[in-house]
Amino acid sequence: MPVPIRLLLAGPDERALARSAYPALTAAGFQVLAIVDSPTKLRDAAAVADVDLIIVEAQLTPSPEDALALLGDLGDVALAVVLPPAWAPERERFSGLPSLVAGFTAPVSWPNVAVELANRLPQGEAAEEGDDDESQRTNVPSPPVARVEARPAGQESTPAASAAHGGRSVRLAFYGTRGGAGTSTAALRAAQALAASGRRVALFDSRVRGDLHLMSGIAPELVNQLRETGHSVTQNGVTLHLGPPSEELARGFDATVVDGGREQGGFNADWIPVNKHLSEQHIAHLVGAMTSPGSTDSLTLGPLSIEVRD
């Protein structure tokens, strides 16, 4: 059975991409993990998502220079770039990107883009052009969520704090001192690190935007369903909530992590102001400090500000 290409989709109009690009790409056998509409969101998603391809509408940035800088920040993942018509003279500069697998000029036909990418990417990983099986091309399932379990918020199936951790409950919350500080990335990485240590983790998206869910690889349509129903969803030991934290929802977890956006909330946690993207090493150090054997049952770091300077 072919293994689908996992991709991120980025452009200035998220809704337009969801209406046009998303259906065409999924129908061709690609697995769209997230659709993002800003350079910051793209960097955040690319930093934590395991993807094979990133498709970027270059007009996500104000200038070709900014677009090239953004694309250069995405590492060695394969890239497909859609240039606006006004940037056509810049094609040669974009063609020099080492990870570029395909380039297009808007407006594009997304079904044609999907076929072109399927032909250019490794054989057997995406749907082949000319596949006559109608069900495989038009009824492609949503990005798989095999390890995801949706529940009404607050209804958990496992007992309260794990005895393996002595009953200690870690509470960690991030808020940005400015826009684009990377609080969502910090919160998700902290939650993943805590889950990797064997803890049951509740992760809250206080802004109810769904960024944490999309960055975790949860399909956009499932995020919309969760927003409408108020259900939580569990993936790889992390239970994600669309909404602010509460004592009731945090009950029964070994650790609680909050993405507060740009606001320090009133939830009882160690609130950490962040003014710039935190590296994995910073997150690991922070989580390690809060979960070390010498930690007490009431963890209080006090006023803590993490600043990262170039």
pLDDT in tens, 176-210: 887 777 888 899 999 988 988 889 999 999 988 88
Q: Are 7 and 31 in contact (CB under 8 A)?
A: yes
Task: Tell me the residue type at 286.
Answer: L
**What pLDDT, on a 0 to 100 scale, did the predictor assign at position 155?**
53
Tell me which residue of 253, 259, 237 sits closest to 172, measured CA to CA: 259
- Residue 246 vs residues 73, 154, 173, 250: alpha-carbon distances, Å: 37, 10, 13, 6
Q: Are 148 and 235 in contact (CB under 8 A)?
A: yes
Distance separating alpha carbons of residues 229 and 175, to the nearest angstrom: 26
**What pLDDT, on a 0 to 100 scale, did the predictor assign at position 51?**
86
Classify residue 170 by burial, with Cβ atoms within 10 Å: 0-12, 13-18, 19+.
buried
Strand locations in 120-159 (E)? 148-152
Distance separating alpha carbons of residues 127 and 3, to the nearest angstrom: 9
**The pair of three-digit structure tokens given for residue 96, joined into one six-digit string:** 């020099």
* Residue 225 neighbours by CB distance under 10 Å: 13
Distance separating alpha carbons of residues 145 and 219, to the nearest angstrom: 8
**The pair of three-digit structure tokens given for residue 98, joined into one six-digit string:** 């080492």
Cα dihedral 22, 75, 42, 127, rounded to 10, equals 10
DSSP code, position 233: E
**What pLDDT, on a 0 to 100 scale, did the predictor assign at position 293?**
52
**What pLDDT, on a 0 to 100 scale, did the predictor assign at position 297?**
36
Kindly list the domain boundaries of the chain, sorted by start residue.
6-128, 148-291
**What pLDDT, on a 0 to 100 scale, did the predictor assign at position 55?**
96
Classify residue 92 by burial, with Cβ atoms within 10 Å: 0-12, 13-18, 19+.
exposed
Map residue 255 onto helix, strand or coil: strand
Domain 6-128, classified CATH 3.40.50.2300, yes or no: yes
**What pLDDT, on a 0 to 100 scale, did the predictor assign at position 132?**
37
**Which residues in the chain come in under a pLDDT of 70?**
1-2, 123-168, 289-310
**The pair of three-digit structure tokens given for residue 307, joined into one six-digit string:** 């600043």
- The answer for residues whose C-beta is within 8 angstroms of residue 261's C-beta and 6 or more apart is 175, 176, 183, 206, 207
Distance separating alpha carbons of residues 152 and 132, to the nearest angstrom: 41
Distance separating alpha carbons of residues 258 and 303, to the nearest angstrom: 16
**The pair of three-digit structure tokens given for residue 87, joined into one six-digit string:** 């940037």
**What pLDDT, on a 0 to 100 scale, did the predictor assign at position 292?**
58
**What pLDDT, on a 0 to 100 scale, did the predictor assign at position 274?**
85
